[in-house]
Amino acid sequence: MKRNSGGASPVLNFDLPDECRKAAETLFPSGGPSPAPDLDAMAGFAKALGIGADYGRLLRAGRGADEMRKFLGHFQNNFDLLIQKTWVEKNDEERKENLLDKLSPFMALLERGDFPLALREFGSILDELAYLLFGAQSGREDFTEYAFRIDIEMGLFWWYAANLREMKTVGADAGDALWALLLIGLCYLTNF
């Protein structure tokens, strides 16, 4: 995979693959943990993840639309199924159950529109999901680079997840932008 020395991500300490750099750095300028509140940047990032059509359709539908409620139901079912079907060691079964227990409170935050808190919770959920899917590798500094070697879109998703985790404070006035940012991850995981 060709690397370019101009696009190191401070969050992840490695150069993004050339084919992802523009979409990634448009969403999180300079690879920092403050996303651009630009819906076009988010749409471009969703397209790079391979979920652009679904993302655009859902964003246009709006949070209260029937289509969105159906989608959130699909997300919850697919996420639940993903966790249940994930094989883990016997000593990690409790982690698996704890992750399943986090799903309903997270969905309640989305329904309430508490996107700053939902964003923090989603970061925690993604950490646990990465551990269940990849084991101890998910905690290593080179995890995202490892994910890029498996699949470009998967690596880009885990790069997005790492940047979400690095977001420290988010104002409540950023609701629409945060919703759009969360929807990227929800769409990706629904199609995982």
Helix (H) or strand (E) holding 105: helix 93-112
pLDDT tens digits, one per residue of 7-18? 334 344 567 888
- pLDDT at position 70 is 95
140 alpha carbon, distance to own chain's centre: 18
Q: pLDDT (tens digit, 9 = 90+) per residue, 172-184? A: 557 788 899 999 9
Cα 139 to Cα 122: distance, rounded to the nearest angstrom: 17
Question: What is the pLDDT averaged over residues 50-77?
Answer: 93
Nearest 10 degrees: CA dihedral of 145, 149, 150, 155?
A: 40
Amino acid type, 158 = W
**pTM of the prediction?**
0.86
Amino acid at 8: A
Task: Please give the Cα distance from 175 to 113 (Å, whole number).
Answer: 8
pLDDT at 11: 44
How many other β-carbons are positioned within 10 Å of the β-carbon of residue 88?
15
Smallest Cα–Cα separation from 104: which of 77, 69, 138, 142? 77
Q: Which of 167, 151, 161 is nearest to 128 (CA)?
A: 161
Q: At what angle do helices 39-48 and 18-27 cross, to 10 degrees?
A: 150
- The domain spans of the chain are 13-28+36-190
Q: What is the pLDDT of residues 127-161, one digit of tens each?
A: 999 999 999 999 999 999 999 999 999 999 999 99
